[in-house]
Every structure is written in C-alpha cells, then in structure tokens.
Structure 1
Amino acid sequence: MATGALIIAIILFIVGLLGTVLPILPGAILIYVGMLIYGLMTGFTTLDFTFYLIQGLVFAFILLVDYWATVEGTRRFGGSKQAGWGAAIGLIVGLFFVPLGIVVGPFIGAVVAELLRKADLSQAIRVGFGTLVGLLGGTIIKLGVEILMIIYFFVRI
C-alpha cells in the first residue's frame, strides 16, 4: 500500500510543480493533496499531525505569496493601491483564460486602474510591467517553497 501511495503522491507533486510554472493547475493544492492522500493510504504511520500542520501553514503562505508578489511588484514600479487591486482583479479574471490570462490579466488590470486614475499611458504601462515582475518573482518563490515542502515530505517518510 505504501508504494502505491508514494507513486500517487509523486505524480501529484510533479503535476503540482508543473501547475506552478504553467498556471493551468493549482500547484500548491495538488502537492498538499498528494501528501494527504499518502497519509490516508498509509494510515498516517510516518506523517503525524505536526507534519500536516506545518505543511498547511506553508501552503497558506504560498497562497499569500500569489497575492502579495503581484501587488508588491505593482507598488515597486510606482503603482497606486488601485493598480494593486486592478492587478489582483485581473489575476482572478485571468484565471478564466488560462494560461495567457494569468499573465495578461494582472497587467491589463493594473494598466486600466492607473489610466482610470488619470495616469499617463507610459506610467500605466510601467506599472503593468511591475505586476509582471511581481508575478514572476512570486512564481519563483512559490516554486522554491513547494520544492522545500516536497523535500520535507521525503525526509519525514
């Protein structure tokens, strides 16, 4: 049973990591679910409550990184609070147009928000570019943290 559980977990880990880089699938969720399935299939003999609590907290951190990185990138490139909200809304709307919408949505959201604030076009585009920098930075952070989650899983089993 443990071998089958490990195979399922590894498949979900790989798909989750791919989902982080190619945001078609919910990467962190798949990784955490892989760990939970492993625990269920092995009767939680090697992974205890503390392990899942720590991984759950790390999972919550990853979700926060998604939002924070996009907004911070917008702010660092001179964007307003409204541009940060525009980028966040654009990210949500972009989820319906995967995979391109994930990149274009935050950019358009930030640019539109800045234009509505009467910023000039070049400044609005600069802010939109900042959202892309934040999004890319957030993806790199998420990928690194997810890899650490997986390493911790293998260390504990």
Structure 2
Amino acid sequence: MSTLILIFAASLAVVGIVGCFMPVVPGPLLSYCGVLCLLATDAPPSMTTLVAFGAATIVVSILDYVIPMAGAKRFNCSKMGTWGAAIGTIVGVFFFPFGLVLGPFLGAFIVELIVKKSVAAAALGGIGALLGFLASVFMKMLLCVGMLAYVIFG
C-alpha cells in the first residue's frame, strides 16, 4: 500500500511541476498535496517539514500574482498594460507552448500601444511583464522540484 501512496504522491508532485507553466493550475498546491500524501506512509514527514513546505507554498502562491505585476511596473508598464499582461498570460495557455512565453509580452505590448505609448515604451513594458512571468515560473519550479525530491528521496 505504501508503494501506491508514494506513486500517487510523486504523480501529484509531477503534475504540480507541469502546473508551474499553466496559470490556471495551482502547481505548488498540487505538489504540496503530494507531500501531504506521505502522512499515510510508514515514514511520514515531520511537522516541521509540513509547516515549512506549507508556508513556502502560501508565500509562493501569493508572490505568483505580485511578481509579474512588479516586473511590468519596474519597466514602466501602465496599470492597463499590467492587466494586458495578465490577460495575455491566460490567453497564451491556449497556444501552448509558445503562447505561455509570448502571451504576457504581447498582452502588455498591445495594451500599451492602445494606451498611446510609443512602440519602444510598449516593448519595454512587454519585456518587463515577460521577465516577471518567467521569474514567477522559476520560483514555483524551485519549490515544486524541491517537494518532488522530498517525496522521492524523503
């Protein structure tokens, strides 16, 4: 029975890693559920481990919304451009895999052009949105890979 639980926990952690690239899939939460599955095994994780991974999951989930907007703002993207990046990210899911990278950039770029910014300023806002999105994905990946490693190697 323990082997089945480990396989299920590892599967959740792997789906969590895939979810890091998909804005609508809660990757870190799924990976954390994989860690929680280990409670039903012969060698459950310590309370410290559960709290640490749980807190990291909450923090990363919050930062997942903050970092892309901060990246766009850092490159002087307007509030409307930031919304364009968010919408571009969601639309980009439907054009996997290139849409995931181009979506935030194009969303911010197009909205910035509509808001009457120059092409250079719009491109800069789009680059900021893209860099913020990539930083967010990287952060989620680090956490999810760490949880997968914990599930596998304990």
TM over 0.5: yes
Post-superposition offset of 1:75: 1.3
Contact 1:65–1:142 under 8 Å retained in 2: no
**Aligned partners of 1:143, 1:98: CA distance in 2, in Å?**
18
For 2:82, the aligned partner's letter is: G
* Aligned counterpart, 1:75: 73
1:1-157 equivalences under 5 Å are 1-20=1-20, 22-23=21-22, 26-39=26-39, 41-42=40-41, 46-47=44-45, 52-150=50-148
Q: CA RMSD in A?
A: 2.8
Once the two structures are aligned, what percentage of the paired residues are identical? 37
For 1:72, the aligned partner's letter is: A
Bigger shift: residues 46-55 or 75-84: 46-55
Ranked by relative contact order (alpha carbons within 8 Å, sequence separation 6 or more), the top structure is 2
For 1:29, the aligned partner's letter is: L
Contact 2:92–2:99 under 8 Å retained in 1: yes
Unaligned runs of 5+ in 2: none
**Aligned partners of 1:106, 1:126: CA distance in 2, in Å?**
12
Contact 2:10–2:152 under 8 Å retained in 1: no
Contact 2:16–2:29 under 8 Å retained in 1: yes
Does the C-alpha gap of structure 1 residues 124 and 67 become closer, same or farther in structure 2, counting only changes over 3 Å? Answer: same
**Aligned partners of 1:145, 1:33: CA distance in 2, in Å?**
13
Unaligned runs of 5+ in 1: none
